[in-house]
Amino acid sequence: MNRSIVLAAALLSTLAAAGFTAAQAKPVKYKLPEETATFKPGTNREAVMNNCTACHSADYIQTQPRGPKFKKDFWQAEVTKMIKVYGAPIDDADVGKIVEYLTENY
């Protein structure tokens, strides 16, 4: 804990010596492009919209690979990766719904 305090103090001292102050920091604004895709109507569409759109647009999901080898196992692995690797806060009850929707519609 003391080491963290020393490191934080050193960082603040370095920034102050460089003449940086929080007042100089300006917010950055991004203009996102308009969405051109929507989620297809289907069973469990709500689960996808409520969970996946926290990070992804419908456009992004539509760019994922398609074809016979990219079905249920592929989508199960993708949803699991989102949860375990990226920390997506998806309820266990929604995982199967999301996989089912994506398998049927993409």
Considering the domain boundaries, does residue 2 fall inside one? no
Considering the domain boundaries, does residue 98 fall inside one? yes
Considering the domain boundaries, does residue 21 fall inside one? no
Considering the domain boundaries, does residue 4 fall inside one? no
The count of C-alpha atoms lying within 13 angstroms of the C-alpha of 95, restricted to the half-sphere facing its C-beta, is 16
Considering the domain boundaries, does residue 5 fall inside one? no
Segment (H or E) for 27: none
Enumerate residues 6+ apart whose C-beta is below 8 A from 64: 70, 78, 106
Whole-number Å distance between alpha carbons of 101 and 106: 8
Q: Which domain holds residue 52?
A: 27-105
Considering the domain boundaries, does residue 7 fall inside one? no
pLDDT digits (tens, 9 = 90+) for 39-53: 999 999 999 999 999
Which CATH number fits the domain that encloses residue 32? 1.10.760.10
pLDDT digits (tens, 9 = 90+) for 21-40: 666 678 888 887 887 888 99
Considering the domain boundaries, does residue 13 fall inside one? no
Considering the domain boundaries, does residue 35 fall inside one? yes
Find the mean pLDDT for residues 68-78.
92
Number of domains in the chain: 1
Q: Which residue has the higher pLDDT, 60 or 12?
A: 60
State the pTM of this model: 0.67
Neighbours of 15 (CB within 10 A): 12
Whole-number Å distance between alpha carbons of 3 and 11: 12
